[in-house]
Amino acid sequence: MSDTCTIWVCRDCMLHHANGECGSCHLDEGHDREPWALEPDQSNVTMGMLDEQHDCIPDWDGSRIDCGCEIKNFSWSSCEGCGSTLGGERHAFTLWFDDDTHPADCMCMSRCWDGPDQ
């Protein structure tokens, strides 16, 4: 079974994953960081979080259409895709690793290891 973890990325990174560009691409000042600079291999990244990571109760058919688990409206924590420290939306993504290869320097580590349920 593959190891996975959840990372939180900024709106620019989310839009780059979905569309290949974002609203900041066309501004004079551009991005404050290059989107996904910390995770350039997008084949290992999927949008959203795994079912077991949700705090919400799914609908009777297992859907979670209106749940808010996968978005934080505002956070000052740095983007785990590009490292931007600008405050703003954070979107959940899932990082996928091969067996037992969750890297020791993974973005999630500081957050993972000091969580109360780890």
CA angle 84, 117, 87 (to 5 degrees): 20
Most distant CA pair in the chain, distance: 47
Q: Given the rule CB under 5 A, which of 40-48, 67-75, 85-93 is the region that contacts Zn ion?
A: 67-75
Contact assessment for residue 44 and residue 4, using Cβ atoms and an 8 Å cutoff? no
Nearer to Zn ion (CB atom), residue 62 or residue 116: 62
76 sits in which H/E element: none
Residue 9, strand partner residues: 91
Pairing of strands 3-10, 71-75: unpaired
Report how far apart the first and last C-alpha atoms of the chain are (Å, whole number). Answer: 19
Q: Given the rule CB under 5 A, which of 38-46, 86-94, 99-107 is the region that contacts Zn ion?
A: 99-107
Nearer to Zn ion (CB atom), residue 105 or residue 116: 105
- 15-34: contacts with Zn ion (CB under 5 A): 22, 24-25
- Interface mask toward Zn ion for 37-66; x: CB under 5 A: -----------------x-x-------x--
Minimum distance from residue 113 beta carbon to Zn ion (Å): 10
Query: Could you list the residues that contact Zn ion (CB under 5 A)?
Result: 5, 9-10, 13, 22, 24-25, 54, 56, 64, 67, 69, 79, 81-82, 84, 106, 108
